[in-house]
Amino acid sequence: MTGLREERRGSLRLQDVAEAAGVSIATASRSLSGASGVSESVAERVRDVARSLGYVANVHARSLAAGTSRSVGLVVHEIGDPYFSEIASGVLHVAAPAGLTVQICHSGRDPERELEQIRTLVASRVGAIIVAGSGFVDPAVQAGAKADLQAFRAHGGRVAVIGRHHLGVDAVLPDNRAGGRAVAEHLLGLGHRRIAVVTGSRMLTTVADRLAGVEEAVTAAGLRFADVPVVEAEFTRQGGKQAAEQIIAEHPDVTAVLALNDDMAIGVLSVLRSRGVPVPESVSVVGFDDVAVAQDLAPSLTTVRLPMVEMGEKALQLALADPSARPRRRRVGHELVVRDSTAPPPA
């Protein structure tokens, strides 16, 4: 009785399809995988039978036998963060039509955990791994991840990263430096001279690059970057709030706050509003990323737009493209979006 066995596992096997179609299991396999070497008539019949039976191949058996799987892994810092959820959205949008499943995991901005997640993905024999979080300034921090990723590639795995990493693989690179410069120039152009910068950990390359752009602009404007207060906190809304409190306490004379991501800028706006500081009349605020809500805040946030969804799409496309000998880089544009949170400094 075949019934029993079906009940045990719950689904048909290729063999059931093969029997029903009156062919061997090998032919059935070839028919369904679209491999050549089967007469079209037979192949079609097998596919019909499979469909009518509702057969779905066991992914694990297939992956085990073939050594690869039709799935990709995505490592983000935190999926609840809009920056990453938009990237994830982009990844999913190109994965689905390609018949790929996506495994998402959190690194929590911790290199250790990131390495752990990468290992898990490697063990899952995913076909590609996309690392979406910021890299770390210190290459040593990611040495482990780099080694694992290289080994993964050496065995046919595909890898792409978003943002600057020292990982030696294909990368989608937003121009954080030019973006930082642009947004700083915007404030300087409005006449601001006492600007405070609110930032996440400088260990993150994203932060380092954006900050370098800011420094360029400040220096080019004839100011000393050393005189610009740079307040470091968590790269989150909460961190932005904390930094804002500190600025209000220690640098009450600033006329503009430049936050290195929108999340922090939102935190800054929140504190200023609760303190009754009018934005942009008394203080201008800018962010970076242009997450979807930036335009709906009040005042709407001046920021630098990064095409997160597109970055996710590009990353997966890059990973899926024919492998290249040396790492490819896809730069994505940025765009200064001037909204209502900035104005000339108070007279």
Partner DNA sequence: TTGAAAGCGCTAACAG
Partner DNA sequence: CTGTTAGCGCTTTCAA
Binding site residues, DNA, CB under 7 A: 5, 9, 13-15, 23-27, 29-30, 32-33, 35-39, 42-43, 57-58, 61-62, 64-67
User: Is 121 or 171 the residue whose CB approaches a second copy more closely?
Assistant: 121
| Locus of tokens 């790492």 | 327
User: Is 111 or 157 the residue whose CB approaches a second copy more closely?
Assistant: 157
Cβ atoms of 129 and 149 closer than 8 Å: yes
- Look at residue 130 and give its three-state secondary structure: strand
Helix (H) or strand (E) holding 121: helix 111-123
Binding to a second copy (CB under 8 A): which residues in 146-185? 151-152, 154-157
User: Is 81 or 289 the residue whose CB approaches a second copy more closely?
Assistant: 81
Give me the least distance between CB of 192 and a second copy, in Å please. 22
Residue 72 is encoded by which pair of tokens?
A: 């990709």
Cβ atoms of 186 and 286 closer than 8 Å: yes
Q: What is the DSSP string of 189-243?
A: HTT--SEEEEES-TTBHHHHHHHHHHHHHHHHTT--GGGS-EEE--SSHHHHHHH
Phi-psi region at 67: left, alpha or beta (left = phi > 0; alpha = psi -120 to 50): left
Q: What is the C-alpha to C-alpha distance for residues 58 and 12, in angstroms, rounded to an integer?
A: 9
Give me the least distance between CB of 32 and DNA, in Å please. 6
Q: What is the C-alpha to C-alpha distance for residues 232 and 202, in angstroms, rounded to an integer?
A: 8
Does residue 132 belong to the site contacting a second copy (CB under 8 A)?
no
Give me the least distance between CB of 155 and a second copy, in Å please. 3
Give me the least distance between CB of 149 and DNA, in Å please. 20
Does residue 58 belong to the site contacting a second copy (CB under 8 A)?
yes
Give me the least distance between CB of 188 and a second copy, in Å please. 26
Q: What is the C-alpha to C-alpha distance for residues 91 and 237, in angstroms, rounded to an integer?
A: 25
Residue 59 is encoded by which pair of tokens?
A: 């992914």
DSSP state of 289: B
Give me the least distance between CB of 70 and DNA, in Å please. 10
Q: Which of 42, 53, 63, 328 binds a second copy (CB under 8 A)?
A: 63
Give me the least distance between CB of 123 and a second copy, in Å please. 4
User: Is 32 or 304 the residue whose CB approaches DNA more closely?
Assistant: 32
Non-local CB neighbours of 194 within 8 Å, separated by 6+ positions = 251, 253, 254, 255, 256, 345
Q: Decide which of a second copy, DNA, none touches 24; Cβ closer than 5 to 8 Å per partner kind.
A: DNA
Does residue 82 belong to the site contacting a second copy (CB under 8 A)?
yes
Cβ atoms of 245 and 271 closer than 8 Å: yes
How far, CA to CA in Å, does 264 sit from each of 52, 158, 288? 54, 33, 9
Q: Decide which of DNA, a second copy, none touches 33; Cβ closer than 5 to 8 Å per partner kind.
A: DNA
User: Is 12 or 187 the residue whose CB approaches a second copy more closely?
Assistant: 12
Does residue 317 belong to the site contacting a second copy (CB under 8 A)?
no
Single out the segment in contact with a second copy by CB under 8 A; choices: 87-95, 173-181, 188-196, 328-336: 87-95
Cβ atoms of 332 and 276 closer than 8 Å: no
Q: What is the C-alpha to C-alpha distance for residues 243 and 271, in angstroms, rounded to an integer?
A: 10
Site string (256-295) toward a second copy, x via CB under 8 A: ----------xx-xx--x------------------xx-x
- Residue 62: count of CB within 10 angstroms of its CB: 16
Q: Decide which of DNA, a second copy, none touches 248; Cβ closer than 5 to 8 Å per partner kind.
A: none
Does residue 96 belong to the site contacting a second copy (CB under 8 A)?
yes
Residues that bind a second copy (CB under 8 A): 7, 9-11, 56-61, 63-64, 67, 69, 71, 78-82, 84-86, 88-89, 92-93, 96, 101-106, 119-120, 122-125, 151-152, 154-157, 237, 266-267, 269-270, 273, 292-293, 295-299, 309
